[in-house]
Amino acid sequence: MSKAKAIATPTRTKEILQKYGFSFKKSLGQNFLIDVNILENIVQHAGIDDQSGAIEIGPGIGALTEQLARHADRVVAFEIDQRLVPILDDTLAAYDNVSVVNQDILKADVRNVIEQHFEHGQSLKVVANLPYYITTPILMKLLMERLPVENITVMIQKEVADRMAAEPNTKSYGSLSIAVQYYTEAKVVMNVPKTVFMPQPNVDSSVLQLKLRDEPPVIVEDEEFFFEVVQATFGQRRKTLMNNLSRHLKGKIDKAELRAKLEAAGIDPGRRGESLSMEEFAALANAIYEA
């Protein structure tokens, strides 16, 4: 297929939408990409080659799917909107290495789909232009299920990408940064203007790459409690660790004991959550957990 025929151009996108009388559903956060160069860049950043299996979420009319199909061994795309399934059958008819799964990714048994569609041990990458309103739940599901995936390369709202990749002592750093970086190494690989989407969103986008870790970077006594402590320390950003934690742990541990635990972990109770590294959060959570 010649590049001129790519789905991701304004003309071709409009043709496809008109042919099917397709109207965008605001509730599904549908914004289709209309720039082939950006899609090719995303595929390149994801490290997709003819040995790779690619998992896509929200293929829309197949703009990114088409580029993945050209480079990957196999592509499986999860699409929640039933109206798009016949459109995808048409736009991707030239590719026999694509399967569309008409399911909500948040409810899907992704591990089972992987077993059905990919070779055992095949190099798997997730690549997607994610709907903004549901980015975090989708990514956290993929990470917490510890799927056999090497990396996740996603187009998301710039502000959320910045938060996920943020370092301590920055405005963007918070509990989401810790949650994502506990499972992955996170990096913003490119910024994308709103003009390359149809319809145009109100915000700018970034492509975030998450490289999955074999092991978390810290050892914690209890994962659930670790994340609970992290969230509590960011409860009110301007308040100190001591204030946020004593409020959250009221009735479980008294202030004097909490202060002693913080000091035993080598952490000044007067600090704020945004100044703590992941290692310090782990030391803090482990000290309190043993209380």
Grouped pLDDT means (10 residues each) for the chain, 291 residues = 70 93 72 92 97 96 97 97 94 97 97 97 96 91 96 96 97 96 98 91 93 96 96 92 92 90 93 96 93 59
CB 5 within 8 A of CB 12: yes
pLDDT at 26: 65
pLDDT at 250: 87
Query: Tokens 């056999």 belong to which residue?
Result: 148
Tokens in use for 9?
A: 């151009």
pLDDT at 1: 42
pLDDT at 28: 62
pLDDT at 2: 41
For domain 3-212, is the CATH number 3.30.200.20? no
Annotated binding-site residue? 235:
no
Domain ranges of the chain: 3-212, 223-289
Cα-based distances in Å from 172 to 176, 230, 238: 9, 15, 14
Residue 18 and residue 9: Cα distance in Å, rounded?
14
Q: What is the largest CA-CA distance in the chain?
A: 71
Matching fold, domains 3-212 and 223-289: no
Annotated binding-site residue? 104:
yes
Residue 118 dihedral angles phi and psi, to the nearest 5°: -115, 155
Annotated binding-site residue? 286:
no
Report which residue type is found at 231. Answer: Q
The candidate with the shortest Cα–Cα distance to 38, out of 153, 166, 168, 159, is: 153
pLDDT at 179: 96
H-helix or E-strand spanning residue 86: helix 84-91
Second-level CATH architecture of 223-289: Orthogonal Bundle (1.10)
pLDDT at 108: 98
Annotated binding-site residue? 257:
no
The candidate with the shortest Cα–Cα distance to 15, out of 32, 30, 2, 29, is: 32
CB 66 within 8 A of CB 91: yes
Annotated binding-site residue? 79:
yes
